[in-house]
Chains A and B, each alone.
Chain A
């Protein structure tokens, strides 16, 4: 049984569709990088894992299983138990995710309970300065606040940690340190990580597997090095080609042409078709189903025939032509 299994998940907001049939699996102790442009549905998928969606969100279809438990069907008490025992969350804005009216020490004690060792848990995230305990969140730096949030999320040694761009608001030096803390703590505790990120090189370096999202679906997933190094979906190829670190020095970056879609209902065909250099007629009308290409699961009608033609340079030159 997988630790996390998302099947055909559809999430609707009052005027937009955030997830349009997303599939995802994550095994015990595995780290999975979830990448995609803003608006691709990453955060919605991350929040859906703990049923932490805003009240305006509706689950129209599909299911989420965490340790075999259907998250959206659980009664309130069992859902709380699942969150407490199995899940941990870290968010993008570290200072906002701490209560502004409570000293850090008090918040940690509230989370850890009477027997919790506050110093020990702060030490685990390499925060040794005792002044942190007396400080209010707004007096901390972003990096310090995120360490506190990580200490809280990891205090119960959850089986799955959902980290929604936890380093996006930090500067690059701190970013590395905070990522190190998360991945080493998780490895120690055997915690699986769902790591939502824009940072492809970091994901390639740190995660076992990668899932690429586009238009509310996971369009490609597989081993990190394979997906990012030898993509099977045209969108992954374009995304990898636009990552700053992917290009040699002095070479112009190629942004993915066009705009990401805003869905109001189910996409008729492949959501990437309007921007795809390889799109053909059926891509517009027929929803792709997952196919296996090498070690990847891919949502593309032409995944098979495009094998070998999708090195990053080719995709870009086809776009230009």
Chain B
């Protein structure tokens, strides 16, 4: 019963959030300077030409009417047609989604596999007299270097000295997994630098917070070895902030993928949206942002569920005595 209540509450608030996002994005797209007609027809088009084009796409209607049409279509699963390519947006997004998903999954894997051990190790080794300056500098650098800088650098270096890795020639995963990985590994590495740094730092802080807890002192007093304590008492207790971070970072990585895909010329959702924004292709931008918002919301629900499973005090079922 409690679980059912929780789920229906989450579904309701998620729907409300999505609706809010749809209004915002619909308005934002139309507030961008330079409308669709101007971008397509160029600076020398006459007013009649512009009006004719606007009428063809229904852009002469009142904005709230346009919004109504769009919303009811989206609710039925129809994201409209790209105004540039005349292709259905939904199908195009679906075709491009695997590339972005693969990129994001690789980057998340890298942040978990590299960031978490780094964080645990530096926390367990930390000494009170400070130190760790090198680690802080490195993670600070990792957080602050933008993807387009690092990406461009990597593209430049690797397009000269290939090292067996390819830049700019994407191969579908289904066609040749090894060749696909060879093209994806560099963009994924560039994308993951930020999240590895943040994950390592968050893990370190979380572990250091747990290290001073009385139950850790109690375990040390029982004569348990450091790695036994890390495995049984620290990892799970330090996991909450790290899981939360990785969840939100996953959604954030989709944004980073936008730039990385563009730089590495990968046919993902990101490069599609970047092009669409440049051409004021309203339907594509709206669908893309709605998709990102959806991922964000789903990730947040997953985080809450996972955190509740990790820490019984925070769970969906918390408060019920067993």
The contact of B221 among A56, A83, A101, A138, by CB within 8 Å, is: A83
Q: Which residue of B lies closest to A162 (CB)?
A: B221
Please tell me if the beta carbons of B223 and A136 are within 8 angstroms of each other in the complex.
no
The smallest beta-carbon distance between B111 and chain A, in angstroms, is 23
User: Which of A89-97, A184-192, A211-219 lies at the binding interface?
Assistant: A89-97
Q: Which residue of B lies closest to A53 (CB)?
A: B217
Binary interface profile of B, 9-37, with partner A (CB < 8 Å = 1, else 0)? 00000000000000000000000000000
Please tell me if the beta carbons of A101 and B218 are within 8 angstroms of each other in the complex.
no
For residue B225, CB closer than 8 A to chain A, the reply is: yes
Q: In the complex where A52-B221, A80-B225, A152-B222 touch, is A96 in contact with B213 (Cβ < 8 A)?
A: yes
Q: In the complex where A96-B214, A97-B215, A136-B312 touch, is A55 in contact with B127 (Cβ < 8 A)?
A: yes
For residue A139, CB closer than 8 A to chain B, the reply is: yes
The contact of A110 among B220, B221, B232, B237, by CB within 8 Å, is: B232
The smallest beta-carbon distance between A14 and chain B, in angstroms, is 8
For residue B316, CB closer than 8 A to chain A, the reply is: no
The smallest beta-carbon distance between A152 and chain B, in angstroms, is 7
The smallest beta-carbon distance between A126 and chain B, in angstroms, is 21
Measured in the bound complex, the distance between the Cα atoms of B281 and A265 in whole Å is 73
Q: Which residue of B lies closest to A87 (CB)?
A: B221
Q: Which residue of B lies closest to A54 (CB)?
A: B212
Inter-chain residue pair count (beta carbon < 8 A): 80
For residue A243, CB closer than 8 A to chain B, the reply is: no
The contact of A52 among B217, B237, B310, by CB within 8 Å, is: B217
* A residues in contact with B222, CB < 8 Å: 83-84, 88-89, 111, 152-153
* B residues in contact with A99, CB < 8 Å: 215, 219, 232-233, 237
Q: Which residue of B lies closest to A85 (CB)?
A: B223
Please tell me if the beta carbons of B312 and A82 are within 8 angstroms of each other in the complex.
no
For residue B136, CB closer than 8 A to chain A, the reply is: no
Measured in the bound complex, the distance between the Cα atoms of B127 and A139 in whole Å is 35
* B residues in contact with A88, CB < 8 Å: 221-222
The smallest beta-carbon distance between A72 and chain B, in angstroms, is 15
For residue A306, CB closer than 8 A to chain B, the reply is: no
Taking A97-B217, A101-B236, A134-B322 as known contacts, 17 extra A-B pairs with beta carbons closer than 8 A to each other, sorted by chain A number, are A50-B221, A52-B221, A55-B128, A80-B224, A89-B217, A98-B218, A99-B233, A100-B311, A100-B312, A101-B237, A101-B311, A136-B312, A136-B313, A138-B313, A149-B218, A152-B218, A153-B222
Residues of A within 8 A of B (CB): 14, 47, 50, 52, 54-56, 80-85, 87-89, 91, 93, 96-102, 110-111, 131, 134-136, 138-139, 149, 152-153
In the complex, the 4 A-B pairs of residues with the closest C-beta atoms, listed nearest first: A84-B223, A83-B223, A89-B221, A96-B214
